[in-house]
Amino acid sequence: MGDVAVTPIVQSVDTSELVLREGVARDEARAEIAAYVREHPGSFPFDVAIALRLSPDLVGEVVEELIADGTIERESTTP
């Protein structure tokens, strides 16, 4: 299992003013997201999307893939 964690999204956020990068390949996005989470453990997926200027939907999908393959871990929300 991986040694980095991502905190799940707990609320919906307005993305209407988010300026996204266009044409980022999924593999490139996956590598960028994994690197960002390693450098910023506990990041919310939406924070990752803002920082990398990627679609929140894409980031959410890729985060789930990274969790499933053990690259990152889901951070517990219980105390």
In a domain, 26, yes or no: yes
Given this model, what pLDDT does residue 33 score? 97
CATH code of the domain covering residue 40? 1.10.10
Residue 27 lies in a domain: yes
Determine phi and psi for 58, rounding to 5 degrees: -60, -45
Do the domain assignments include residue 13?
no
The answer to whether residue 79 sits within a structural domain is no
Q: Is 66 exposed, middle or buried (CB count within 10 Å of its CB: 0-12, 13-18, 19+)?
A: buried
Task: Say whether pTM exceeds 0.85.
Answer: no
Number of domains the chain is built from: 1
- 42: nearest Cα among 78, 79, 74, 10: 74
Domain with 64 in it = 21-74
What is the distance between the alpha carbons of residues 49 and 34, in angstroms, rounded to a whole number? Answer: 12
48 falls within a domain: yes
Query: Per-residue pLDDT for the chain (79 aa), expressed as one digit of tens each?
Result: 455 555 554 445 555 666 788 889 999 999 999 999 999 998 999 999 999 999 999 999 999 999 999 999 888 766 6
